[in-house]
Amino acid sequence: MFKRDLWVSLACTLVAAWLGLVLGTRLSHAQAVPSANSSAVTVIHDSGEALPLAPYISHLLAGTDQPGVLPGLVFPLRTQLRAGVLPQDEVQVFAPRWMTQAVFVVGDDDVSVKWLRHNEAKLRHMDAWGLVVQARDTRHFKAMQKLFEGMPLAPVQSPWLEQRLMEKGAGVFPLLIQADGVARQIVPSQAGGSNP
């Protein structure tokens, strides 16, 4: 049990660092719940363009063998995004400075699974991370992780992400958001690394 707790603690630290790099998350909007023994959070820099960290904590998931998916995460995962077709070939959804790595948004539906199968090699080549925004239950989510073993897939419940995508006209999945902040459904053939 101690080894597992140590591993989870290490994974949490590594994921928090990764999230800071991938999404350019800053501490400027961090909120603390003060307790009798704690002090308020000191804001070091506030650019006015910080992203909320909470929706991305779900990346703490690390594999199909974990008995629980994430403490506090409730299935089914539901989203306001819809399985569908992006109305344009490309939609700018994030500023490039927020992105250091490609991410893709999927559900556990048949269309998303087919899209992942079709684009799996390209997504792996890009080192893209998957955000699963819709899943019927833990079993379906874990089956999806097992089907695409080694590809980072994490459950996400993020009203902020949903709102951002819908405001930009990209409220559908499956969807790839490359390091340039542009959302696409057709994954480019010449995708190299994490750049478009």
- Residues 35-84: tens digit of each pLDDT: 455 456 677 766 766 655 444 544 444 455 555 555 667 889 999 999 99
Residue 145 maps to a domain = yes
What 3-state class would DSSP assign to 172? strand
State how far Cα 7 lies from the chain centre: 21
Contact predicate 179/99, CB 8 Å: yes
φ/ψ of 126, rounded to 5, equals: -80, -10
> Which CATH number does the domain housing residue 136 bear?
3.40.30
The pLDDT of residue 62: 45
Dump pLDDT digits (tens) for 101-140: 899 999 999 999 999 999 999 999 999 999 999 999 988 9
Please indicate, yes or no, if residue 160 is contained in any of the structural domains. Answer: yes
pLDDT one-digit tens code per residue, 174-183? 999 999 999 9
The verdict on residue 95 lying in a domain is yes
| Domain total of the chain | 1
Instruction: Provide the residue range defining the domain that includes 168.
Output: 52-184
Q: Name the pTM for this structure.
A: 0.66
pLDDT at position 87, please? 92
Q: Provide the token pair at 46.
A: 């506030």
Q: Give, as one character, the DSSP assignment of residue 135.
A: B
Residue carrying the six token digits 């928090």: 16
Instruction: Say if 144 falls within a structural domain.
Output: yes
Do residues 54 and 78 make contact, with C-beta atoms less than 8 angstroms apart?
A: no
109 found inside a domain: yes
Domain membership of residue 133 (yes or no) is yes
Q: Which of 72, 69, 58, 178 is nearest to 119 (CA)?
A: 178
Under DSSP, the state recorded for 187 is -
* More confident of the two residues 31 and 114: 114
